[in-house]
């Protein structure tokens, strides 16, 4: 067992599950989307992104690309969240909540691709 | 194979296959080196993983803590801190900017947490920045950056350049003379000090340099071996084997590019010649040949060394080595061997002195030469010439001084190995001085500057000493004691459009061409050294030499003469005045009005 692989798989999977947890629920209802979960998703995605630095293989490059997409989408989602809560005079409306959740949905897509890559890599790995 | 057509085809196919293979290998070599450079950048990214993750973790924990701990507003009501405020506070706290406590003054609970976060985040930042700085100092990282910058500079070169592997003293001399001719140079050397010294040298053009081993084909690829503008490769490292590696790489990857390499032994020269047809320069061999020429024809030797030294060189003194009498050669190494053979070929008696007994020479005196009485015992008083040719400068200097004090009229030659000894040798005012690096640099310069000069130097000794003396007098009358510009002229429709009709008239005399456009009774300050027509060369042609289209000329003279000649070559009216003495109007209207018919062809590209 390789500890590096465990940590890598853990963070990639955790990024996807946290993202999914935030995404699920009625799109317009702020009650069912926890902001702490979004924060955790951003942080774990950033860590997953940094873990993917410096891999020169083709699959490593695609890994890095998916993580970049996910991290950027989640940061955009939290920026919209913050703008709606602190700056906008209308407050956290249904429209802005929908925008936040759909952005995190996009990030979820990227995270799913990342997990698929991880699985593909594991399956194609031959022992010995 | 009996069918000649089949033979022809199979040969062509073979050739194409060879070229394709060379192209592929070339691409591989360059890609490998570039790949290694980018690998290092990836390594750096990988090493930044840990600090970045630590930073992200510390930052997120601190922010999370701030949002979880309830604050209080002005009236003491509990107010939870939002994510935005928490990130804002942590950002300025972690970077030690510290704007204060917002949106309300913190509670003790919050202050305790912020105190912990301050120490945590400062450690995180210090770790991240420290790792980044240490990476920037990293040798392999800097080397990777240098390779990338260098390959970008080389790739951007859009004019022909010479790739010089080995930037020692010879490379430096060559670089300066090529630079003075306005030619570009790319440099490789193992010694980083030599490459860093490039920035301090005063070159007109930018000289890209890389600290790398020239034995590596990948480094040669990065240095422009695969660049379409690479016109020649010069291998001048101190190591014969590295030079051989450069010759090999060039012959295999770019067979069409000429190579000039330095070799100090005949065996190495033969090994180099196994790869295509490199031009091999053995400084000791060349010096032996030069000394032989100096013995036979001092003026030819003087002309040769002057032209080889490049523009701006002072006229070397005309030595007069004694043709008769016995020579004493101290040091029977690479130089001594060549020299003894060349001197004996001239029919001169030679006594060899060397501290170590050698198998291949029977009459050598085993002695250092500086022991008291040894040189006197060899009959130094009756000798005609003396050569201090060991590979130690101190020994050479002391030998030369001993010989001169014993016999003041003696012809003394010495070998200078290190550039730092140059002032000492200059102060000795020796009759002949061998500096191997300079010999190499001059030879390479003569071959690279223009093929015509090389041809001239090659054919010149056959013309005899008196002819050379007359030419040296003509050159000194014209340019003084410092060599002026040396340039090539091709009488083709592209390079000399105004001369077309005149050249084909069959009465195009060289003397008429070299007249001043201001006043045709004055001739230009330029001497034609050589006219090349097809394979035949005419050395120092007379003024009534008849030129033909397609001739190539090698001229030496003032830069102003070159500019004046350029206008003669390009402007019809100037050409007409210079060759006929008639002032022809240059505009079409004036020509019609004055009724002068112009002999130029109407359609010209």
Question: What 3-state class would DSSP assign to B165?
Answer: strand
pLDDT tops 50 at residue B561: yes
Q: What is the predicted pLDDT for the residue at A16?
A: 96
Q: Tell me the chain B residues in contact with residue A35 when contact means C-beta distances shorter than 8 Å.
A: 83
Q: Tell me the chain B residues in contact with residue A51 when contact means C-beta distances shorter than 8 Å.
A: 49, 53
pLDDT tops 70 at residue B156: yes
B49-137 matches B151-281 in fold: no
Binned at pLDDT 50, 70 and 90, residue B27 comes out as low
Looking at B9-18, B94-103, B275-284, B352-361, which range is the least confident one?
B9-18
- Asked: is B484-594 a CATH 3.30.70.1450 domain? The reply is yes
Mean pLDDT of the B540-544 span: 84
Judge contact between A63 and A107, C-beta under 8 A. Answer: no
Q: Count residue pairs from A and B with Cβ separation < 8 A.
A: 45
- Is B63 touching A (CB cutoff 8 A)? yes
pLDDT tops 70 at residue B530: yes
Mean pLDDT of the B401-408 span: 83
pLDDT tops 90 at residue B500: no
Q: What is the predicted pLDDT for the residue at B67?
A: 92
Most confident of A61-75, B74-88, B208-222: A61-75
pLDDT tops 80 at residue B65: yes
pLDDT tops 90 at residue A91: no
Q: Tell me the chain B residues in contact with residue A87 when contact means C-beta distances shorter than 8 Å.
A: none
Q: What is the predicted pLDDT for the residue at B603?
A: 40
Of A36, A39, A47, the CB nearest to B53: A47
B46 and A54: CB-CB below 8 Å? yes
Looking at A15-29, B230-244, B298-312, which range is the least confident one?
B298-312
Q: Tell me the chain B residues in contact with residue A82 when contact means C-beta distances shorter than 8 Å.
A: 83-84
Render pLDDT for A52-72 as a digit per residue (tens, 0 to 9).
887 778 888 899 999 999 999
Query: Which of the residues A36, A39, A61 would you substitute to probe the B interface, choosing the one with the greatest number of B C-beta atoms within 10 Å?
Result: A39
pLDDT tops 80 at residue B585: no
Q: What is the predicted pLDDT for the residue at B600?
A: 47
Give how far A57 is from chain B: nearest CA, Å: 11
Q: What is the predicted pLDDT for the residue at A128?
A: 46
d(CA B272, CA B286): 17
A54 and B60: CB-CB below 8 Å? no
User: Which A residues 50-89 touch B at CB under 8 Å?
Assistant: 50-51, 53-56, 78, 82, 85-86
Judge contact between B477 and B557, C-beta under 8 A. Answer: no
- Is B57 touching A (CB cutoff 8 A)? yes
Query: Which of the residues B47, B84, B102, B135 would you substitute to probe the A interface, choosing the one with the greatest number of A C-beta atoms within 10 Å?
Result: B84
- Asked: is B49-137 a CATH 1.10.287.70 domain? The reply is yes
Question: What 3-state class would DSSP assign to B312?
Answer: coil
Q: What is the CATH code for B285-448?
A: 3.40.50.720
Q: Tell me the chain A residues in contact with residue B44 when contact means C-beta distances shorter than 8 Å.
A: 54
Q: What is the predicted pLDDT for the residue at B605?
A: 39
Mean pLDDT of the B490-517 span: 83
Q: What is the predicted pLDDT for the residue at B234?
A: 92
CATH topology of domain B151-281: Rossmann fold (3.40.50)
Judge contact between B219 and B163, C-beta under 8 A. Answer: no
Q: State which residue of chain B sits closest to A87, comparing Cα positions.
A: B84
- Is A91 touching B (CB cutoff 8 A)? no
d(CA B92, CA B368): 78
Render pLDDT for A11-24 as a digit per residue (tens, 0 to 9).
999 999 999 999 99
Alpha-helical runs (H) found in chain A = 3-23, 35-51, 58-82, 94-123
Average pLDDT, chain B: 83
Q: What is the predicted pLDDT for the residue at B385?
A: 85
Looking at A67-71, B184-188, B265-269, which range is the least confident one?
B265-269
> Closest Cα partner for B114 from B143, B150, B89, B96?
B89
A50 and B49: CB-CB below 8 Å? yes
The token duo for B405 is: 């004090």
B53 and A35: CB-CB below 8 Å? no
Cα distances from B512 to residues B81, B507, B515, in angstroms, run 96, 10, 6
DSSP B496-510: -GGGHHHHHTT--BH
A56 and B52: CB-CB below 8 Å? no
Q: Tell me the chain B residues in contact with residue A75 when contact means C-beta distances shorter than 8 Å.
A: none
Q: State which residue of chain B sits closest to A86, comparing Cα positions.
A: B84
Q: Tell me the chain A residues in contact with residue B64 when contact means C-beta distances shorter than 8 Å.
A: 36, 39
B64 and A82: CB-CB below 8 Å? no
pLDDT tops 90 at residue B313: no
Of B56, B63, B84, the CB nearest to A50: B56
Query: Which of the residues B48, B53, B79 would you substitute to probe the A interface, choosing the one with the greatest number of A C-beta atoms within 10 Å?
Result: B53
Of A53, A85, A86, the CB nearest to B46: A53
Q: What is the predicted pLDDT for the residue at A72?
A: 96
Beta bridge partners of B314: B482
Of A43, A53, A55, the CB nearest to B60: A43
Question: What 3-state class would DSSP assign to B397?
Answer: helix
Judge contact between B188 and B210, C-beta under 8 A. Answer: yes
Binned at pLDDT 50, 70 and 90, residue B563 comes out as confident
Of A35, A39, A54, the CB nearest to B42: A54
Q: Tell me the chain B residues in contact with residue A50 when contact means C-beta distances shorter than 8 Å.
A: 48-49, 52-53, 56
Mean pLDDT of the B334-344 span: 83
Q: Tell me the chain B residues in contact with residue A46 when contact means C-beta distances shorter than 8 Å.
A: 56
Render pLDDT for B346-391 as a digit per residue (tens, 0 to 9).
888 888 888 777 666 666 777 766 676 777 777 777 788 888 888 8
Of B42, B67, B82, the CB nearest to A56: B42
- Is A92 touching B (CB cutoff 8 A)? no
Direct distance between the N- and C-terminal alpha carbons of chain B, in angstroms, rounded to an integer: 49
Mean pLDDT of the B562-583 span: 82
**Which residue bears the tokens 């995605």?**
A45
Q: Tell me the chain B residues in contact with residue A53 when contact means C-beta distances shorter than 8 Å.
A: 45-46, 48-49, 52
Binned at pLDDT 50, 70 and 90, residue B596 comes out as low
d(CA A118, CA A9): 7
d(CA B317, CA B302): 7
Query: Which of the residues B59, B60, B63, B67 would you substitute to probe the A interface, choosing the one with the greatest number of A C-beta atoms within 10 Å?
Result: B60
- Is A35 touching B (CB cutoff 8 A)? yes
Render pLDDT for B108-132 as a digit per residue (tens, 0 to 9).
889 999 999 999 998 998 999 999 8
Q: E strands, B473-551, where?
A: 485-490, 526-533, 536-539
Peptide bond into B103 cis (omega under 30): yes
pLDDT tops 90 at residue B580: no
- Is B60 touching A (CB cutoff 8 A)? yes
Q: What is the predicted pLDDT for the residue at B63?
A: 93
Mean pLDDT of the B242-264 span: 90
Give how far B44 is from chain A: nearest CA, Å: 8
Query: Which of the residues A3, A47, A50 would you substitute to probe the B interface, choosing the one with the greatest number of B C-beta atoms within 10 Å?
Result: A50
- Is A39 touching B (CB cutoff 8 A)? yes
Q: What is the predicted pLDDT for the residue at B451?
A: 79
Q: Where are the domains of chain B?
A: 49-137, 151-281, 285-448, 484-594
Render pLDDT for B188-200 as a digit per residue (tens, 0 to 9).
998 888 888 888 8
Binned at pLDDT 50, 70 and 90, residue B298 comes out as confident
């Amino acid at each position: 067992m390789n500890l590096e692989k465990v940590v890598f798989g853990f963070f990639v999977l955790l990024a996807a599950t946290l993202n999914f947890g935030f995404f699920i629920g009625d799109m317009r209802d702020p009650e069912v989307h926890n902001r702490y979960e979004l924060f955790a998703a951003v942080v774990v995605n950033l860590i997953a992104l940094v873990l993917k630095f410096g891999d020169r293989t083709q699959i490593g490059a695609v890994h890095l690309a998916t993580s970049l997409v996910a991290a950027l989408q989640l940061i955009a989602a939290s920026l919209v969240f913050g703008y709606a809560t602190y700056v906008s005079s209308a407050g956290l409306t249904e429209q802005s909540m929908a925008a936040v959740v759909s952005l995190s949905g996009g990030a979820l897509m990227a995270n799913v691709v990342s997990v698929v890559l991880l699985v593909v890599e594991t399956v194609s790995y031959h022992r010995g | 194979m009996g069918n000649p057509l089949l033979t022809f085809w199979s040969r062509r196919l073979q050739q194409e296959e060879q070229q394709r293979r060379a192209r592929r290998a070339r691409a591989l070599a360059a890609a490998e080196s570039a790949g290694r450079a980018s690998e290092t950048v990836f390594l750096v990214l990988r090493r930044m993983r840990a600090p970045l993750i630590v930073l992200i973790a510390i930052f997120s924990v601190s922010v999370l803590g701030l949002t979880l701990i309830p604050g209080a507003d002005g009236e003491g009501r509990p107010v939870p801190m939002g994510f935005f405020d928490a990130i804002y506070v942590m950002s300025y706290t972690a970077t030690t900017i510290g704007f204060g406590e917002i949106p309300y003054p913190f509670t003790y609970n919050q202050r305790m947490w912020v105190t912990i976060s301050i120490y945590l985040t400062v450690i995180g930042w210090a770790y991240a920045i420290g790792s980044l700085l240490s990476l920037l100092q990293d040798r392999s990282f800097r080397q990777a950056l240098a390779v990338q910058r260098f390959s970008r500079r080389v790739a951007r070169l859009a004019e022909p350049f010479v790739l010089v592997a080995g930037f020692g003293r010879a490379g430096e001399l060559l670089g300066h003379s090529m630079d003075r001719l306005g030619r570009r140079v790319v440099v490789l050397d193992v010694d980083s000090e030599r490459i860093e010294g490039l920035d301090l040298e005063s070159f007109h053009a930018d000289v890209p340099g890389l600290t790398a081993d020239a034995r590596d084909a990948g480094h040669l690829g990065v240095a422009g071996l695969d660049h379409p503008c690479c016109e020649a490769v010069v291998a001048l490292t101190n190591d014969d084997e590295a030079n051989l590696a450069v010759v090999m790489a060039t012959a295999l990857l770019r067979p069409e590019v000429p190579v000039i390499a330095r070799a100090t032994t005949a065996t190495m020269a033969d090994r180099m010649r196994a790869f295509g047809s490199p031009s091999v320069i053995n400084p000791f061999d060349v010096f032996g040949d030069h000394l032989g020429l100096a013995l036979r024809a001092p003026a030819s030797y003087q002309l040769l060394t002057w032209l080889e030294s490049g523009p701006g060189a002072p006229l070397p003194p005309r030595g007069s080595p004694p043709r008769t009498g016995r020579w004493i050669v101290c040091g029977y190494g690479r130089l001594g061997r060549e020299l003894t053979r060349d001197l004996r070929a001239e029919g001169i008696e030679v006594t060899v002195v060397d501290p170590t007994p050698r198998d291949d020479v029977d009459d050598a005196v085993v002695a250092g030469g500086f022991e008291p009485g040894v040189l006197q015992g060899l009959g130094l008083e009756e000798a005609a010439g003396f050569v201090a040719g060991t590979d130690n400068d101190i020994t050479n200097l002391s030998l030369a001084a001993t010989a001169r004090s014993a016999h003041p009229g003696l012809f003394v030659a010495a070998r200078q190995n290190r550039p730092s000894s140059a002032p000492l040798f200059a102060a000795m005012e020796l009759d002949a001085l061998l500096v191997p690096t300079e010999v190499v640099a001059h030879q390479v310069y003569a071959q690279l500057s223009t093929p015509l000069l090389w041809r001239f130097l090659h054919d010149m000794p056959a013309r005899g000493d008196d002819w050379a003396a007359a030419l040296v007098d003509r050159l000194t009358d014209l340019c003084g004691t410092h060599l002026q510009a040396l340039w090539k002229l091709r009488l083709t429709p592209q390079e000399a459009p105004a001369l077309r009709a005149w050249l084909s008239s069959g009465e195009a005399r060289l003397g008429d061409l070299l007249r001043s456009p201001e006043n045709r009774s004055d001739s230009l300050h330029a001497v034609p050294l050589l006219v090349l027509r097809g394979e035949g060369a005419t050395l120092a042609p007379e003024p009534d030499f008849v030129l033909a289209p397609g001739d190539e000329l090698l001229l030496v003279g003032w830069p102003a003469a070159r500019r004046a000649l350029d206008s003669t070559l390009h402007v019809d009216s100037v050409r007409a005045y210079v060759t006929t003495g008639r002032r022809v109007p240059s505009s079409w209207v004036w020509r019609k009005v004055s009724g002068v018919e112009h002999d130029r062809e109407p359609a010209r590209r």
